[in-house]
A and B are shown apart, each in its own frame.
Chain A
Amino acid sequence: MTERPLPLALRPLDAIGRWAIAVVEALGRFGTFLGQALGTILTPPFKFWAFVDRIHYIGYRSLLIILLTGGFTGMVLGLQVYFTLVRFGSEAYLGPAVALSLIRELGPVLAALMVTGRAGSALTAEIGIMRITEQIDALTVMALSPIRYLVAPSILAGLVTFPLMTALFDAVGIFGGYLVGVELLGLSQGTYFGEMQSFVDLSDIMTGFWKSLSFGVIVTWVCTYKGFNVGHGAEGVAKATTDAVVLSSVLILVWDYFMGSVLP
């Protein structure tokens, strides 16, 4: 029996309905994937060496880019904030301004974006290539869970490395601000660090910590999901990699806003 064609006036509604169902289905698959990964993290056997390997892959290999971007972000902040504060005669507050901007906001966000560009894209490409060359199917057929070997260690490594990368970004950034503010523009060292100590408290550091922790999950979740559900051939891997970086970056910024609104 063939279906009767829809009246012309109802076709846009039909298309919207199909699109909405597809979106809900995709979100469901996305959520189920994270649920499976978290379930796997919490149940033995733990793949310790795969976890160590992922820390090296996501964290250690991103060190250089974190040091470079952290340093220059702090230097730019130091320069711009100094010239703004000078107008109000408040250049003594350069230290806290640089530190608070980095610790609460720029550190977690920029470190996450940098790690996404460096390690997230590589993660998607690696898993995507494993998918199209049937390496993931080979694991499945051996009755070994690909989620346990490929996804869970990456998400766990994201949880560990993102806060560490962020802390490093913040520290190097504050030093970059010091270089410009103190060494270049002549602010006293005591003022830079003394005021910073008075203004920055534990809640600021915890705000940055919670953000970086959640970014660690978001980036590894999105990037492994996209790799796992890659399309066909080299073109599929290229598309998945681009999608992973774009989606991770957008989610980082969106989630940063919500975290910023909720956290003290």
Chain B
Amino acid sequence: MIKVERLVKWFDGQQVLHEVDLEVATGSITVIIGRSGGGKTVLLRHLIGLLRPDGGRVLVDGVEVSRLRGRALDEIRKRYGVVFQGGALFDSMTCADNVAFPLREKLHLPGTEVAKRVEAGLAQVGLEGMGP
């Protein structure tokens, strides 16, 4: 479960989040809708620990994300899947390398297994043959 309690964030003297409260139950789907510049991305960045709040806290399964640092925060982050607004693909890499990167660097899979999974992943989105 994700729980947000009285979350406050300021940027350059301007308050972006005003004591936001939110609960996302395990297995549920929640959509956050709002006008441009309303603080949706800022809220999400707090959930994944990319920003630290000026007030309030973010809890994931009872663990306060906003207080974690280093390895403890990395362990929580490993449970997230994030799709960034602009894709955040590594533009210095090929399409296949982008898919292969976390498999190699995070899961430390052998080359043959990486190639197999990359091909399978690309095929799922109609990009067969773009692999190594």
Residue ranges of A at the interface with B (Cβ–Cβ < 8 Å): 126, 129-130, 133-135, 137-138, 140-144
In the bound complex, CA of A46 to CA of B74 (Å): 19
Contact for B82 among A133, A135, A138, CB less than 8 A: A138
Contact A137 to B84, CB < 8 A, known contacts A142-B77, A143-B77, A143-B78: yes
Which size class do B's interface residues fall under? 20 to 34
Contact for B106 among A130, A140, A143, CB less than 8 A: A143
In the bound complex, CA of A140 to CA of B77 (Å): 8
Chain B residues with Cβ below 8 Å from A141 are: 48, 50, 77, 80, 82
In the bound complex, CA of A129 to CA of B74 (Å): 24
Chain A residues with Cβ below 8 Å from B88 are: 133-135, 137-138
17 examples of A-B residue contacts, CB within 8 angstroms: A126-B92, A129-B91, A133-B86, A133-B88, A133-B91, A134-B86, A134-B88, A135-B88, A135-B89, A137-B84, A140-B50, A141-B48, A141-B77, A142-B77, A142-B105, A143-B106, A144-B105
In the bound complex, CA of A137 to CA of B87 (Å): 11
- 15 additional A-B pairs beyond A129-B91, A141-B77, beta carbons within 8 Å, are A133-B88, A133-B91, A134-B84, A134-B88, A135-B88, A135-B89, A137-B84, A138-B84, A141-B48, A141-B80, A142-B102, A143-B75, A143-B77, A143-B106, A144-B106
Residue of A nearest to B70 (CB): A145
In the bound complex, CA of A134 to CA of B78 (Å): 17
Chain B residues with Cβ below 8 Å from A129 are: 91
The 4 closest A-B pairs by CB, nearest first: A143-B74, A134-B88, A138-B88, A134-B84
Which chain B residues numbered 74 to 117 have a C-beta less than 8 Å away from chain A? 74-75, 77-78, 80, 82, 84-86, 88-92, 102, 105-106
Q: Which of B75, B78, B88 neighbours the largest number of chain A CB atoms within 10 Å of its CB? A: B88
Which chain B residues numbered 27 to 55 have a C-beta less than 8 Å away from chain A? 45, 48, 50
Chain B residues with Cβ below 8 Å from A137 are: 45, 50, 84, 88
